[in-house]
Amino acid sequence: MAFGARLAAAMDQYGPLCVGIDPHPELLALWGMPDTAQSLGEFGETVLEASAGACAAVKPNAAFFERHGSAGMAALEHVLRRARELDLLTILDAKRGDIGSTMEGYADAYLAVGVPLEADAITLSPYLGFGSLAPAFELAKANGKGVFVLALTSNPEGASVQHAITPDGRAVAAVVADEAAALNSGAIPMGDVGLVVGATVGDAVQRLGIDLDRVNGPLLSPGVGAQGAGPAELSLVFGNARSRVLVNQSRGVLKAGPFVEKLRGAVTQASAAAQSILR
C-alpha cells in the first residue's frame, strides 16, 4: 500500500496529528532524565506508547540522536523498530539532500526495506535542485514509502532562499511545489511526495503563486498551537488543501511527560484540536 494512502487512512482514523520525538536536553531534564543515549531510547519508548492509536504518525528528530554518536543511533534504530511493532507511521526528520550516489546512499539508509534505520518517510532538502532527490523518490515509490520536501519553512531565514525568483519567473518554493505536484499527479487519495509548509508563513503561499491543493500530497506543518498558528492562519496558508495537512507538535505535547497516561492525554487533546481546526 502506498505511503500516501496509508497516511490518509491514519489521518482519517486518528486525526491529522504527527507527534515529534525530540529528546532535547531541556526536555530530558524536564522529564528527570540524564542527557545520555540510554535516556533517548526510554524517552522514545514513552512517546510511542502514548502515541499508539492516538495520532496519525510520529516524527523522530535524527539530530538529537546523532549527537550521542553510535549509541544514539542505536537508540534511533530501537525507536523506529518499536514504532513499526506498534503500527505507527514514522517520518524521520533528517532533512537529507545530495547528488548522485550520495543521495542513493541516503535513500538506501532510510527508505529501503529491512535496513536498521528504516522509516515510512523522510524529510528532504531540495536546495541542490529538486531533481537531485530522484533516487529517494524512486526508492520510496518502489517500497511504499514517502518523502517530505522542504518548501516553505517557518524560520525567517528560509525566505531568502525559498522566496527567491528563478530565471523563469517562479519562486523557488513554487518550483518545489510544482515538481511535487507532477510526481503526485493522479494519485488517490493523495500522493507520496509531501511538502513541509510552516503554518506561520502568512500570505507567502498566495504571494508566490503556489497552489497547495494541486500538490495532491501530504503537507507537514509545524507552527500550530503554541507557536502561534490557529484557524485563521491555517485557512490563510492552506486554503482548500487543509484536509491534507498533518500538524506537527513536538515540545508543546512532550512537556506533558514523562508519565505515559498524562502524555497520552496531551496527544489526544492535540489531535482533537488539529481535527477541529482542519476538518
Q: Nearest-CA neighbor of 252 among 232, 234, 225? A: 225
Considering just the CA atoms, what is the radius of gyration of the chain in Å?
Answer: 18
Residue 8 belongs to domain with CATH number: 3.20.20.70
Q: How many domains does the chain have?
A: 1
Query: Omega into 126 within 30° of 0, i.e. cis?
Result: no
Locus of grid cell 541516503 = 106
Locus of grid cell 530522484 = 134
CB 32 within 8 A of CB 221: no
Is the pLDDT at 227 greater than 80, yes or no?
no
- pLDDT tier, 225 (very low <50, low <70, confident <90, very high otherwise): low
Query: Which domain covers residue 252, as residue numbers?
Result: 3-278
How confident is the model at residue 234, as a pLDDT? Answer: 84
Give the mean model confidence (pLDDT) for residues 172-184.
Answer: 98
Is the pLDDT at 127 greater than 70, yes or no?
yes
Is the pLDDT at 149 greater than 70, yes or no?
yes
Give the mean model confidence (pLDDT) for residues 103-115.
Answer: 98
Q: Nearest-CA neighbor of 278 among 250, 226, 252, 240? A: 240
Is the pLDDT at 205 greater than 80, yes or no?
yes
The Cα angle at residue 48 between residues 258 and 31, in degrees rounded to 5: 15
**What is the greatest pairwise CA distance in the chain?**
54
- Top pLDDT among 154 and 184 is at 184
Give the mean model confidence (pLDDT) for residues 116-131.
Answer: 98
Give the mean model confidence (pLDDT) for residues 184-198.
Answer: 97
Task: Give the contacts of 37 (CB within 8 A, at least 6 positions apart).
Answer: 68, 69, 71, 72, 74, 75
Grouping H, G, I as helix, E, B as strand and the rest as coil, residue 190 is: coil
In the set 59, 95, 141, 262, the catalytic residue is: 95
DSSP state of 114: T
Lowest mean pLDDT among 120-124, 192-196, 215-219, 224-228: 224-228
Is the pLDDT at 228 greater than 80, yes or no?
no
Q: Nearest-CA neighbor of 118 among 83, 67, 156? A: 83
Give the mean model confidence (pLDDT) for residues 220-247.
Answer: 84
Does the active-site annotation cover 95? yes
Q: Nearest-CA neighbor of 46 among 276, 253, 274, 279? A: 253
- Top pLDDT among 215 and 230 is at 215
pLDDT in tens, 58-78: 999 999 999 999 999 999 999
Here the cell at position 48 is: 510511542
- pLDDT tier, 271 (very low <50, low <70, confident <90, very high otherwise): very high
How confident is the model at residue 224, as a pLDDT? Answer: 75
How confident is the model at residue 231, as a pLDDT? Answer: 77
Is the pLDDT at 279 greater than 80, yes or no?
no
The Cα angle at residue 20 between residues 177 and 23, in degrees rounded to 5: 135
CA dihedral 259, 86, 189, 209 (to 10 degrees): 40
Q: How far apart are CA 116 and CA 135, in angstroms?
A: 19
How confident is the model at residue 48, as a pLDDT? Answer: 98
